[in-house]
Amino acid sequence: MIHAHVTAWFIAIVLFAVALSLHKNGKTKGFKILHMIIRVFYLIIIGTGVGLLSMVYHIDVWYILKAVGGLWVIGLVEMILIRTAKNRRTSVFWFQFIIVFLLVLYLGFIKLPMSIFHP
Ligand code: HEM
């Protein structure tokens, strides 16, 4: 489950970068298709995240913060993609993205106990 979760968000972030570069190069159709594929990944990330949560006996505040942060990152990716498609400013969302993404990585990899590194 944890491998599926990490693989899902990792692929989503890579596709996110590819989608943005397609848009930069004027490839609107490719951008739209990737956006749809990325939305499928949101579902996989949330599904595996909820799956991991269901394995936790005592859900404390760090787990709640991790889940809310993860959902927030997904919301920001979606906002950035939608606003990029409309050629609108995304700086406020990028600012949040960097902070919340780093927080979620810290909580996932360092603070919380499950890990892909020690099975
Ligand atoms: C883009 C969004 C997300 C990112 C970047 C992300 C990132 C991570 C990372 C880095 C880990 C730790 C992997 C490891 O230690 O090997 C993790 C674990 C986990 N994630 Fe996410 N996640 C996201 C979304 C979500 C969502 C939406 C939920 C819940 C609904 C969630 C729930 C969890 C849980 C419960 C764990 C296990 C924590 C533990 O006990 O160590 N994640 N995630």
Ligand 1 centroid distance, CA of 110 (Å):
11
Q: Give the Å distance between the CA of 70 and the centre of ligand 1.
A: 7
Query: CB within 6 Å of ligand 1 — which residues?
Result: 2, 5-6, 9, 45-46, 49-50, 52-53, 63, 66-67, 70-71, 73-74, 104-105, 108-109, 112-116
So what's the pLDDT on residue 77?
A: 98
Within a domain: 11: yes
| Chunked mean pLDDT (size 10), the chain, 119 residues | 97 98 96 98 98 95 97 98 97 98 97 86
In a domain, 119, yes or no: no
- Cα-Cα-Cα-Cα dihedral sign, residues 7, 12, 17, 21: positive
Q: Flag whether 91 is in a domain.
A: yes
Is residue 116 included in any domain, yes or no?
A: no
Write out the two tokens for 94.
């990028």
Buried b (16+ CB within 10 A) or exposed e, 31-68: beebbeebeebbebbbebbeebeeeeeeeeeebeebbe
Domain containing 56: what range? 2-111
Output the residue whose Cα is nearest ligand 1's atom 14.
Answer: 115
Q: What is the pLDDT of residue 76?
A: 98
Is residue 86 in a domain? yes
**Minimal-distance CA residue to ligand 1 atom 24:** 70
Q: What pLDDT does 87 receive?
A: 94
Is residue 62 domain-resident?
Answer: yes
Q: Output the pLDDT for position 119.
A: 57
**What's residue 114's pLDDT?**
92
In a domain? residue 70: yes
How many structural domains compose the chain?
1
